[in-house]
């Protein structure tokens, strides 16, 4: 049911958020709420087992991913102007909302992405098809949803982030450090920028 109905629904809503006629921030927030609701209904909360060590490792993984993102953005900015236009377009979305909307929506979206793509799609795909096939299928579906956004820099980032967070979930067998990593990464993007 998740692959046949929920993944296409979420992917369509994701694409609509980026390409639709409505304000991006309200659309993506609605999409995030749908993702969280579907995740909770599919039992995702069962794979949240917070431990203090997971919180620390999640923060460290988030910092590591941000460092890789920062270096990647530097390389793109100086060597791939075509991709840099997409990076700047993504950064420009921030101007469509005041901070009191922007910050909570970004944190809600990062929560929704981890709950849905790793906590629901990857978890169920691994149970059905095994670790490696389930992991790769979940990453492919995550990337495909980003392809639909039409933003190639975001799509390229989703390949590396999807592989990274998907591997973290396989390694930890717990969504907590993955979720904390994504939140940390987003907080650093918000506060430091690229």
Give mean pLDDT in consecutive 10-residue pieces for the chain, a chain of 194 residues: 85 90 88 96 90 92 92 80 64 62 82 96 95 96 92 84 96 93 86 70
The pTM is what?
Answer: 0.88
* Count of structural domains, the chain: 1
The pLDDT of residue 40 = 95
pLDDT of residue 110: 92
- Is residue 149 a contact partner of residue 15, using CB atoms and an 8 Å limit? yes
Q: CA-CA distances (angstroms) from residue 7 to 38, 58, 167, 193? A: 10, 26, 20, 30
Q: Is the Cβ–Cβ distance between 90 and 154 less than 8 Å? A: yes
Structural element, H or E, at residue 61: helix 52-79
Distance separating alpha carbons of residues 26 and 142, to the nearest angstrom: 21
Residue 115 neighbours by CB under 8 Å, 6+ apart = 35, 36, 39, 40, 44, 175, 179
Burial 87-96 (b: 16+ CB within 10 A, else e): beebeeebee
**Tokens standing for 10?**
């979420």
Which structural domain, as residue segments, surrounds residue 91?
2-191
Give 106's contacts (C-beta < 8 A, 6+ positions apart).
186, 190
Read off the tokens for 57.
């490792």
The 8 Å CB, 24+ separation contacts for 86-91 are: 86/151, 86/152, 86/153, 86/154, 87/153, 87/194, 89/151, 89/153, 90/151, 90/153, 90/154, 91/193, 91/194
* Gap between the terminal Cα atoms of the chain: 38
């Amino acid at each position: 049911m998740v692959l046949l109905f929920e993944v296409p629904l979420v992917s369509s809503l994701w694409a609509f958020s980026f390409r639709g006629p409505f304000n991006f921030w309200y659309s993506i927030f609605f999409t995030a709420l749908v993702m969280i609701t579907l995740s909770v209904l599919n039992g995702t909360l069962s794979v949240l087992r917070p431990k203090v060590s997971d919180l620390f490792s999640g923060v460290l993984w988030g910092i590591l991913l941000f460092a890789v993102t920062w270096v990647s953005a530097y390389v793109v900015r100086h060597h791939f102007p075509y991709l840099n236009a997409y990076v700047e377009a993504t950064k420009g979305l921030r101007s469509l909302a005041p901070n009191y909307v922007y910050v909570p929506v970004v944190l809600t979206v990062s929560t929704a992405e981890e709950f849905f793509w790793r906590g629901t799609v990857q978890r169920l795909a691994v149970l059905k098809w095994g670790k490696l096939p389930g992991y790769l299928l979940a990453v492919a579906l995550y990337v495909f949803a980003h392809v639909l956004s039409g933003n190639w820099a975001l799509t390229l980032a989703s390949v590396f982030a999807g592989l990274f967070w998907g591997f973290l979930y396989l390694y930890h067998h717990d969504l907590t450090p993955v979720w904390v990593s994504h939140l940390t990464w987003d907080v650093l993007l918000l506060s430091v920028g690229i």
